[in-house]
Structure 1
């Protein structure tokens, strides 16, 4: 039996693009309303639901577990505009489920 949870979080990116693998001090922790059962494989999908900054926001996930995950906006290069990593506040929807 699979289990599904969803929610949203407001994120901004006040920091430059993170280029060092595993460095997550600029990520935001999201805790699931109800932890998934221990030992289950959890999948998290995220989607930016607003358009508050002119550059394209990229999403990075880290440390997905049965209790939550870490997420960060990273402004990305696009349309001839150079990205500095910083981005306005956007609403990000998430869905988590077990497989």
Structure 2
């Protein structure tokens, strides 16, 4: 039987673009309202639900577990424009479910 939880959060990025894999000290921890059963395979999907900043906020996830996940913006580079990684506050919707 699968289990589903969802939520939303306000997320910003006052830090430069993170370019080192596994370096997550600038990520924000999100805890699920109710932990999923131990040993569950958990998938998290996120969507930016606002358009407050002009740059495209790429979303990075890390350490998805049965109790929560870590998240941050890493602005997307493109069109010859360098993104600095910093981004204003946006609303992020998330859905987590077991597989």
Q: TM-score, normalised by structure 1?
A: 0.96
Q: Note if contact 1:55-1:81 (Cα within 8 Å) is conserved in structure 2.
A: no
TM-score, normalised relative to structure 2? 0.96
Counterpart CA distance in 2 for 1:80 and 1:34 is 43
Runs of at least 5 residues in structure 1 that lack an aligned partner in the other structure: none
Gaps of 5+ in 2: none
CA distance in 2, matches of 1:79, 1:91: 25
CA RMSD of aligned residues (A): 0.9
Q: Which runs of 4+ in 1 moved over 6 A?
A: none
> CA offset at residue 77 of structure 1?
1.7
SS in 2 for 1:33: coil
Structure 2 CA distance for aligned equivalents of residues 63 and 48 of structure 1: 20
Deviates more, 1:74-83 or 1:32-41: 74-83
